């Protein structure tokens, strides 16, 4: 069954953080996102212009609604809205229908822009949520407001201390367990970007998705960190302040624990001719190393294909390139001189395929699968 993640958090009208970032992260990692919205904000990349808390009984009603019908494997808590809502949510999470759900608590207090999102009474009420959480994910200022590492661990939850607010060119994140101290740490170069709005929300939701999928906490946190870093690198550069991340651009790079096809290298005879051919097919060249006879191209879904002059004998394999508009793609290429061995044809297994060879003789199949991509009739 698909992992079911309930997000209890505020809405960000700018789409960079809060519920909007949470849904993107859960969806891109293969989970089903459900929401209980605690507050509506008027917000963009420069700051928060207004906050409207949702009444506590309506927050609980949202939780009750999805739990009763869909069920919940993990819960991510972000902006909570008020002390009353924090207490009510903490109590609701102890009831039998949510008792087995893993809870990730991101104690949101201040937005990336500096706007305050939790008053002193609400922060004081966080203690009840820490009692129920499996892991808390504060940044350094939030950790200080909660009383430090020992104060958080005293509630019995694990603690992921995020190092993004520290100084230096290296970001260090640390995972602590009650009674064991630091059990894991990750160090990585700081990414130089202003598109950091929603990093905490995204990280916590990504962890919750991993837990909902049955991953242990440490690998779930490691995958979530990779997801956040890729989303920072792929940020779209929107807005004039702290812009949104690029969750929607994260592909399969580094996010699988098992084998996942990401790259194929094909032998080539003539570097320039092969490069021109694959660019003509519509792939984007991302590595150009003629001295080494090596070029790499990226497809629309993030998978890459390389050619390497002198690396093996051409013609021994077939590479498949997918299109949702095969006939138009093939007609476009044919008008520009590309020779096809087989024009688009419906095959018995449900795919529509065209066939050709590249300049080195490697065989290519251009295909359109549609709904049969994963569920062909013979398999069903």
Known catalytic residues are 162, 196, 198-201
What does the alpha-carbon distance between residue 369 and residue 375 come to, in Å, rounded to a whole number? 9
The DSSP letter of residue 55 is P
Lookup result for tokens 């624990």:
257
* CA-angle at 258, arms to 256 and 260, nearest 5°: 70
Q: Is 350 left (phi over 0), alpha (psi -120 to 50) or beta?
A: left
What is the rounded distance in angstroms from the CA atom of residue 26 to the CA atom of residue 209? Answer: 6
- Strands 4-12 and 74-77, bridge-based pairing: parallel
Residues 184-218 as b/e (b if ≥16 CB within 10 A, e otherwise) read: eebeeeebeeebbbbbbbbbbbbbbbbbbbebebb
Q: Are 255 and 231 in contact (CB under 8 A)?
A: no
How many other C-beta atoms lie within 10 A of the C-beta of residue 122?
22
State the pairing for strand pair 135-136/102-105.
parallel
Helices (H) and strands (E) in the chain, counts: 10, 17
Phi, psi of 198 (to 5 degrees): 100, 10
Instruction: Identify any residues that bridge with 4 across adjacent strands, giving them in sequence order.
Output: 32
Question: Which residues, in sequence order, are bridge partners of residue 357?
Answer: 363
In this structure, is the dihedral angle defined by the CA atoms of residues 130, 135, 141 and 147, taken in order, positive or negative? positive
* Burial of 181: CB neighbours in 10 Å, binned 0-12, 13-18, 19+: exposed
Of 264, 298, 210, whose CA–CA distance to 31 is shortest? Answer: 210
Nearest to 139 by CA among 103, 114, 121: 114
Q: Are 11 and 20 in contact (CB under 8 A)?
A: yes
**Cβ neighbours, 10 Å, residue 273:** 13
């Amino acid at each position: 069954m698909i992992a079911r993640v309930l997000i209890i958090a505020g809405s960000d009208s700018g789409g960079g953080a809060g519920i909007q970032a949470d849904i993107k992260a859960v969806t891109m990692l293969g989970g089903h996102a459900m929401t209980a919205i605690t507050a509506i904000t008027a917000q963009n990349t420069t700051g928060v212009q207004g906050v409207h808390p949702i009444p506590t009984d309506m927050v609980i009603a949202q939780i009750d609604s999805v739990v009763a019908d869909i069920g919940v494997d993990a819960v991510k808590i972000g902006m909570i809205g008020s002390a009353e809502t924090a207490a009510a949510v903490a109590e609701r999470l102890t009831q039998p229908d949510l008792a087995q759900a893993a809870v990730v608590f991101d104690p949101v207090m201040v937005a990336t822009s500096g706007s305050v999102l939790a008053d002193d009474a609400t922060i004081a009420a966080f203690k009840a949520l820490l009692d129920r959480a499996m892991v808390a994910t504060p940044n350094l200022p939030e950790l200080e407001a909660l009383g430090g590492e020992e104060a958080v661990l005293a509630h019995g939850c694990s603690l992921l201390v995020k190092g993004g607010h520290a100084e230096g060119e290296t970001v260090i994140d640390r995972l602590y367990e009650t009674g064991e101290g630091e059990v894991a740490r990750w160090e990585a170069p700081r990414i130089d970007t202003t598109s950091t709005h929603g990093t905490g929300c995204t990280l916590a939701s990504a962890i919750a998705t991993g837990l909902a999928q049955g991953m242990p906490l440490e690998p779930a946190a490691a995958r979530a960190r990779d997801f956040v870093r890729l989303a920072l690198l792929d940020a779209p550069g929107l807005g004039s302040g702290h812009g949104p991340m690029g969750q929607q651009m994260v592909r399969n790079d580094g996010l699988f624990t098992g084998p996942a096809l990401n790259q194929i290298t094909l032998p080539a005879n003539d570097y320039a001719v092969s490069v021109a051919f694959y660019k003509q097919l519509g792939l984007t060249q991302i590595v150009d190393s003629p001295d080494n006879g090596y070029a790499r191209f990226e497809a629309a879904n993030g998978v890459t294909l390389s050619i390497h002059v002198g690396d093996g004998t051409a013609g021994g394999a077939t590479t498949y390139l997918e299109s949702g508009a095969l006939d138009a793609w093939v007609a476009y290429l044919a008008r520009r001189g590309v020779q096809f061995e087989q024009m688009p044809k419906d095959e018995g297994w449900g795919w529509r395929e065209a066939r050709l060879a590249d300049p080195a003789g490697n065989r290519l199949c251009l295909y359109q699968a549609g709904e049969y991509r994963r569920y062909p009739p013979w398999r069903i």
